[in-house]
Amino acid sequence: MPNQMEFAHIVMWQTLMILIAIGLWSLWASGKINLIIRPFLSSQIVLVLIWATIGFALWYLFANTYTLFIGRLAWEYFPNNVILSVTDHHFIIVLKNAINNSQSPPIQLLIHNFGFGLVITSAIILGTNKDSWKLRFISLCCVWLFLFFIQTGLLITAAHTYKSTITEAKITLGFTIFIKSLHFIVTVLPIMLSALWLIAPFQRRQS
């Protein structure tokens, strides 16, 4: 039952983020706030939804591969005695000698939030009719590479911050804010990148 509730939470959260991204696209596509229906009936919104569906399907197929890849890379730069594990769709960061210590709670980061960034950026960039396919694919590769390094860097930063705080035996307000902001950064940054793509002054090419 807990796993089912967690899956339902993931689906609801990701759906909400998709709707936000679609809202951004709609504002860009319409050019007028009072025109709401037309963007949702246009062909481009269908393309965005199709790419999003394909993206989420591919993510659930390759999520474990991506998770292991990014985890192994981040692990190389982890401080001593800090463990990175993957359990129940979460990255878990914990001190080696604090696994059974309730006074040292681990950091848990939802893996699907990492995948959300890859999916939503691909849906917006590939589904938006701006310039050529070549430009779209190049832009998508650059965005994915940027997100990959950001996600890896966040794991490494979280590990070092976690060890520093736990070894001091005092959980500070700054540490709490940092941990809470990790979920925000991982989820909202891709939306910001998608918005930048939409407002970027690319010229449309006529076929």
pLDDT digits (tens, 9 = 90+) for 99-131: 555 456 788 888 888 888 899 899 888 888 767
Residue 28: per-residue pLDDT: 60
Question: How far is the CA of 55 from the CAs of 59, 79, 165, 171, in angstroms?
Answer: 6, 34, 37, 38
Residue 144: per-residue pLDDT: 94
- Token representation of residue 122: 């691909």
CB 14 within 8 A of CB 116: yes
For the chain, give every domain's residue range. Answer: 2-199
Alpha helices for the chain (secondary structure H)? 2-30, 37-41, 43-75, 111-127, 133-167, 173-199
pLDDT-flagged residues of the chain (< 50): 1-5, 32-37, 39-41, 102, 205-207
How would you class 151 by CB atoms within 10 Å of its CB: exposed for 0-12, middle for 13-18, buried for 19 or more? buried
Residue 145: per-residue pLDDT: 95
Distance CA 49, CA 126 (A): 11
Residue 171: per-residue pLDDT: 61
CB 193 within 8 A of CB 121: yes
Distance CA 80, CA 94 (A): 11
Q: State pTM to two decimals.
A: 0.71
Residue 148: per-residue pLDDT: 94
Side-chain half-sphere exposure of 84, counting CA atoms within 13 A: 25
